[in-house]
């Protein structure tokens, strides 16, 4: 039996949902974990995922955590259509993309999400509820990042790191795609594309993607191809219907300030 514990508006959960759609897997059991109702801190869920994170995959009582590991596991479990290149050296290069997405891309998107939209949710809570939300977390670095983004906004050092990270990633995508290839690894859609897709979808939902893609036609082409892929819609990648309006509204408020900070970063660091 295949079970997936996920949150609908979790960018990491969307990776798992998209790979299930790519593989046309339908016989899996969904368990929705509402992060804002603090269901990730339920003692039973913490037994599955001590970090109180989503997604978590359970396959025949075996537990697999971390979204990039989950999608890799599912690609091996359901070999067709293959989402890895054939050559081992190409698989290694694909994993370089995923490593950068995991180590820097995720934090960047998460930081900007808290600066823009989750800030409003958390600040609408009572002081006690907000403190309880953070007190229940199990990873100190994540709590510190979230608090900095909520209380300091775009002045948070994590926001600057997010700008630097995604400047680098979009530049790399544009350069890679400049030879006319269809996807990051060549002619075939792979886990490199899939692992990045939900992160870029969140930036799009926050109305921040235009400054990065405006003068990068090859990265634009890649992003349009992602959105045109049937599994993108099938897996409901991107903000849900409940979230898209508020994300766009809150993102529009800061896009001018964001654009100025990005321009300053480029002027200083190139």
The tens-digit pLDDT sequence of the chain (270 residues) is 999 999 988 999 999 999 999 999 999 999 999 988 889 999 999 999 999 999 999 999 999 999 999 999 999 999 999 999 999 999 999 999 999 999 999 999 999 999 988 887 787 888 888 888 888 777 888 889 999 999 999 999 999 999 999 999 999 999 999 999 999 999 999 999 999 999 999 999 999 999 999 999 999 999 999 999 999 999 999 887 777 888 888 888 888 899 899 988 888 886
Write down the domain spans for the chain: 2-77, 88-269
Give 3-state DSSP helix, strand, coil % of the chain, rounded to 5. 70, 5, 25
Contact 56, 2 (CB under 8 A): no
CATH 1.20.1050.10 at 88-269, yes or no: yes
Q: Considering the domain 2-77, what is its CATH architecture?
A: 3-Layer(aba) Sandwich (3.40)
Contact 154, 115 (CB under 8 A): yes
Q: Which of 189, 201, 185 is nearest to 233 (CA)?
A: 201
CA dihedral of 240, 8, 114, 73, whole degrees rounded to 10: -130
CA atoms of 107 and 110, how far apart (whole Å): 5
CA atoms of 255 and 270, how far apart (whole Å): 20
β-sheet bridge partners, residue 186:
183
Q: How far, CA to CA in Å, does 64 sit from each of 14, 48, 60?
A: 16, 9, 11
Residue for token pair 């950068």: 100
β-sheet bridge partners, residue 63:
58
For residue 127, how many other CB atoms are within 10 A of its CB?
Answer: 7
**Which pLDDT score, from 0 to 100, does residue 22 have?**
98
Q: Which of 126, 153, 130, 158 is nearest to 142 (CA)?
A: 158
């Amino acid at each position: 039996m295949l079970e997936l514990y996920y949150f609908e508006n979790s960018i990491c959960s969307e990776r798992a949902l998209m790979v299930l759609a790519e593989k046309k897997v339908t016989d899996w059991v969904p368990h929705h974990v509402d992060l804002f109702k603090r269901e990730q801190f339920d003692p039973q869920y913490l037994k599955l995922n001590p970090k109180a994170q989503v997604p978590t995959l359970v396959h025949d009582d075996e537990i697999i955590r971390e979204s990039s590991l989950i999608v890799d596991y599912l690609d091996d479990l359901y070999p067709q259509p293959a989402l890895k290149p054939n050559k081992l050296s190409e698989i290694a290069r694909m994993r370089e993309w995923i490593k950068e997405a995991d180590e820097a891309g995720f934090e960047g998107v998460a930081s900007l999400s808290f600066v823009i939209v989750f800030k409003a949710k958390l600040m609408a809570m009572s002081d006690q509820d907000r403190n309880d939300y953070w007190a229940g977390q199990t990873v100190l670095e994540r709590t510190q990042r979230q608090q900095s983004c909520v209380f300091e906004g775009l002045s948070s050092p994590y926001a600057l790191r997010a700008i630097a990270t995604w400047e680098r990633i979009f530049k790399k995508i544009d350069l890679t795609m400049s030879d006319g290839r269809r996807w990051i690894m060549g002619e075939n859609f792979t886990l490199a594309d899939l692992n990045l897709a939900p992160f870029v979808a969140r930036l799009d939902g926050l109305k921040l993607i235009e400054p990065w893609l405006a003068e990068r036609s090859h990265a634009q082409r890649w992003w349009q191809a992602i959105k045109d892929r049937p599994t993108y819609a099938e897996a409901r990648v991107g903000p849900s219907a409940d979230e898209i309006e508020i994300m766009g509204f809150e993102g529009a408020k800061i896009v001018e300030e964001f654009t100025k900070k990005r321009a300053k970063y480029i002027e200083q660091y190139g």
